[in-house]
Every structure is written in C-alpha cells, then in structure tokens.
Amino acid sequence: MENFASLLHGFGVALTTYHVILMMVGVLLGILVGVLPGLGAPNGVSLLLPLTFTMDPVAAIILLTSMYWGALFGGSTTSILFNIPGEPSSVATTFDGYPMARQGQATQALTLAFLSAGFGALVGVILITVLSTWVAQFALRFSSPEYFAVYFLAFASFVGLGAASPFKTVVSMGLGFAFAAVGMDTVSGGLRLTYGFNELLSGISFLIAVIGLFGIGELMITMEEGLRFDGIRARVKVRDVLKTIATLPRYWVTLLRSAAIGCWMGVTPGGPTAASFMSYGLAKRLSRRKEGFGKGEPEGVVAPETADHAAGSSAILPMLALGVPGSATAAVMMGGLMIWGLNPGPMLFIERPDFVWGLIASMYLGNIVAVLMVLATIPLFASILRIPFAIIGPVIVVVCFIGAYTVAGRPFDLWLALAFGVVGYLFKKLDYPIAPLVLAMVLGDKAEDAFRQSMIMSRGSLSIFWSNGLVTTLMLIGLALALGPVLSTLFGRLTKAKTSSAVA
C-alpha cells in the first residue's frame, strides 16, 4: 500500500502538460534515433543528455526515458520493414517480422510488435512498482559467478533451442566470441587480434557488425535474386490494425512467459538483447507451429518484442535502487543522475521520493504515449514498402554507411561494415545462423570478464560456479540446454539400434 500511495504521488508529479509534451517530443526523437541504424538508444540518450543539464531532474529524466521507449519502437520498425535492426535487442524481431513484411503483412507485424512491446514494458514497470524492495535485495546476491552463469544460460539456450544444426550454431557463436575479443583486453590490458590495425584497438563495434550482417548482407541476397523486394501492394487501412489488435489475446501464454523472461534479464545483467533471443528460442521450442518460425510466424514477433521491452523497463530498477545499471542506456541515465547531483541507491528513495516515483509514474504514461504514437504511424511506415527496390535499395545502402560512419567517424568502419556484409551473405548462402554470432558479439566480452573475475576470486577453481544454490541452478539449466541436442541424438541412435536388433 505504501508503494501504491507513493505511485499516486508520482502521477501527480508526472501528469502535467509540460511533462506530457516532453514525453511526446522524447518518443518522436527516440523513434527517429531507433530508425537510423548506427545510433540506437544509448547513443541517442548520450547525445540528448547535455541538453538536459539546465532542466529540472524530473523533467530531464522523463525526456530521456521517453526517448528510450521511442528508440526501442523505432528499432522494431526497421527490423520488420528492412531487416536492419535499429537496436541490438531488435535482432530477434527480424527472424519473423521481416518475412511477414515480405508476405504483405507489414501492418500486422508492426501492430503485434508495438502492442507486445507495450505489454512487456507495462509488466516491467509494474514489477518496479510492486517488488522494488525484494528485487533490490535479490540482485545484491549477484557477483561475477552469477553474472557468468546468466550469460552461459543465454548461450546454451541458443545451442539447445535453436533451429539450426548445433554444430553450425557453435561455429557461428565461436566466430562471435572471436570478434568480441578484438582490441584491448580489459583485464590484462594486452592487445588481441588487431593484426597491426590501429583502428581495431578499441574493438569491433557491434552496431557496425549488425549493419553489415543484416543490412548489407540482405541487400546482396536480394540483388542476387533479381532485385525483387516484395512489399505491400494493397492499401493499408486502420481496419487492418484493429483486426490485428483483436488477435493479440490468443498469444497470452507467450506474452506472460516472455514478459517474465524480460523482467528476469532486465533486473539481472542479462539485458534486453539476451532476453529477446532467449524468449524467441523458448517460443519456438514450445510452439505448436515450430515449422512456421523463421517464415513469418506472428508468435515469433510477439515473443522477442515483449521480452525486449520488459527487460528495458525493468533494467531501470537496479540503476535506481542499487546504482548498478542493468543496460547501456541505464548506465547513461545514471551518469545524468550523478551530474544532476542525485546519487542512485537505496537512499534516493528516501531523499528524493518525488523524483523516483515521478519517474516510475512517467514510465506508465510514456509507454502509453509511445504505443499510441507508433500505432498512429503504422500506415506511414508500411507504405515505405511500396517503393520499388531500385529506389529504396540505394537509399538503404546510404543509410547503412551513414550509420556505420556515425558510430566513431572513421572511414575504416565503412570497410568493416562491408566485410561483415560479405560474412552475412556467406552465412545465408551456407545456411549458417547469424543470431548466435550476434549474441556472442554482444555478450562475449562481458561473459569473459565475469569468468576471469570468478577465476581470480577462486584462485583458478571451477568450483566457484557451484558454490551456492543460485549459481548452481543457473549452471545446471545451462548445461542441460547445451547438452540436450547431444543427448537427444544419442538416445535416438540407441532407440534405433534396439529397434533394428529387435526386428532382426
């Protein structure tokens, strides 16, 4: 009840004309940032942060969080329409969202994505409101072994739940780990895999890799197929949006499961990207329509989008309560709080309740504003697909290279994006999954740091990963997922051998 009373006070702080206008401006800026590959929510918030230094902290954080929600929605838009994830966490949305768009169902895909995202974000904010104290105490139990166990679980879920060959998945993931290792070793300070290129000292930007793998790689495949780009031919109507809204309740199990995964990954260090991948894998594993995934299955859009936004919103909780950001964007926001003279942590709830609960209330309002605004613009986004590929193709190339150059302003990154485009093309031609490579690039360095810190803590003993109930449970689940395909194959061969001997 105390939290509910504080939330009502927060609505009184957030629900003003000035703050609502800031929400709308923030969402529009966020959609623009999310649509442009190479920017993304962390970079967009970083660019906007200096403009908020003269603002009231409550108004400033409302503007920044609204931009965050808009960027997540914008990333989903480009994932579905062009197969170019505007956000790392939107990669899993491309698997079925883009095929739906190519089949003339862009309106349905976008509507499902936006509504699922709104539901996931709402669940995340409710979690913050109701369970803030308990979640903060639980997250305090995490140290390096638990961090590594969470990352290991995300990697193992791809091996055990992925549709591709486990061998190809492991190969793809191995390449991702190699790309993630390029640059300076964060533990020893040594250089790795730079091969004399000074431009690689800071490592390979994940955004450049994604732009090449998905954007340029997809263009190469499309050109090989004869410059075909199957878009929407029929007129997009509001009725199509309403029909899609009516179908959303049939995915209630996926919505609840994905929201739970997203909240878990948001509060722990897994993050939105790992949450979206894991949610997609589980949805595919447990669905009755497994064969439809990757070909335009609506559930394949609902699952990652719900988990993505649930993780994105719930990641704000450890940042506020513990001073431990759950995502890159939360880290940027935490820097803003400190510049404004606010110290994230348990005392923030006591010293500045108006700020904390005003922020939480604005998250409810901001997500509602974001969903309404993006739903209103679906016909505009879907109409982009009517443009002939001969026109839109060069535009996409220009946007991709602008995005790659924007990351660090280096010409070398343009060649790097092109190289990853070739890798993406080869992966698709050889039927190797790209998603494990992407996941390994995102989480590889974090998993390595957590593992090496754990080894330092235990003086080289692996027993630290079985030192308590929490880390043991996570590791056992991960091992079961990783070894599942091998055990399943062995069991199948034994069964076949027994059947053959019985027949003989």
Q: What is the pLDDT of residues 238-290, one digit of tens each?
A: 777 778 888 888 888 889 999 998 888 777 655 677 788 888 888 888 887 87
Any idea which of 22-36, 43-57, 455-469 has the lowest mean pLDDT?
43-57
Q: Is residue 97 part of a domain?
A: yes
Q: Is residue 264 part of a domain?
A: yes
In which element (H, E) is residue 184 found?
strand 183-184
Question: 278: how many CB neighbours lie within 10 A of its CB?
Answer: 29
Question: What share of the chain has pLDDT > 70, as a percent?
Answer: 81
Question: What share of the chain has pLDDT > 90, as a percent?
Answer: 3
pLDDT category of residue 92 using cuts at 50, 70 and 90: confident
Q: Is residue 472 part of a domain?
A: no
Q: Is residue 187 part of a domain?
A: no
Quote the CA–CA distance of 155 and 176 in Å, as a whole number: 11
Q: What share of the chain is helix, strand, coil (3-state, %, to 5)?
A: 80, 0, 20
Quote the CA–CA distance of 301 and 298 in Å, as a whole number: 5
Number of domain units in the chain? 1
Residue found by looking up tokens 């030192």 in the block: 467
**Residue 430, SS3?**
coil
3 has a pLDDT exceeding 80: no
Q: What is the mean pLDDT of residues 342-365?
A: 78
Q: What is the dihedral of CA 70, 76, 80, 81, to 10 degrees?
A: 30
Q: What is the mean pLDDT of residues 42-63?
A: 76
Residue found by looking up tokens 């689940």 in the block: 477
Print the domain residue range for 381: 1-154+207-409
The pLDDT value recorded for residue 237 is 63
For 102-116, the pLDDT digits (tens) are: 887 878 888 888 889
Nearest to 397 by CA among 231, 225, 228, 223: 223
Q: Is residue 3 part of a domain?
A: yes
Q: What is the mean pLDDT of residues 150-171?
A: 77
Quote the CA–CA distance of 214 and 83 in Å, as a whole number: 6
For 192-250, the pLDDT digits (tens) are: 888 878 888 888 877 788 778 877 887 787 677 655 444 444 345 677 777 888 888 88
The tokens describing 350, both together, are: 């006591």
Q: Is residue 194 part of a domain?
A: no
The pLDDT value recorded for residue 235 is 47
**CB–CB of 96/284 below 8 Å?**
no
435 has a pLDDT exceeding 70: yes
**Residue 147, SS3?**
helix
pLDDT category of residue 175 using cuts at 50, 70 and 90: very high
Nearest to 270 by CA among 41, 134, 467, 447: 447
Q: Is residue 101 part of a domain?
A: yes
436 has a pLDDT exceeding 60: yes
Please write down the HEC assignment for all residues of 450-472. Answer: HHHHHHHHHCCCHHHHHCCHHHH
The pLDDT value recorded for residue 229 is 46
Look up the pTM and report it. Answer: 0.65
**β partners of residue 192:** 183
Q: Is residue 425 part of a domain?
A: no
The pLDDT value recorded for residue 422 is 92
Q: What is the mean pLDDT of residues 68-82?
A: 78
For 316-340, the pLDDT digits (tens) are: 777 777 666 656 667 667 777 777 7
**CB–CB of 184/500 below 8 Å?**
no
The pLDDT value recorded for residue 169 is 85
Q: What is the mean pLDDT of residues 405-417?
A: 83
156-160, 325-329, 378-382, 460-464: which is most confident = 460-464
What separation in angstroms does the CA of 204 have from each of 53, 180, 184, 365, 419? 31, 7, 11, 37, 12
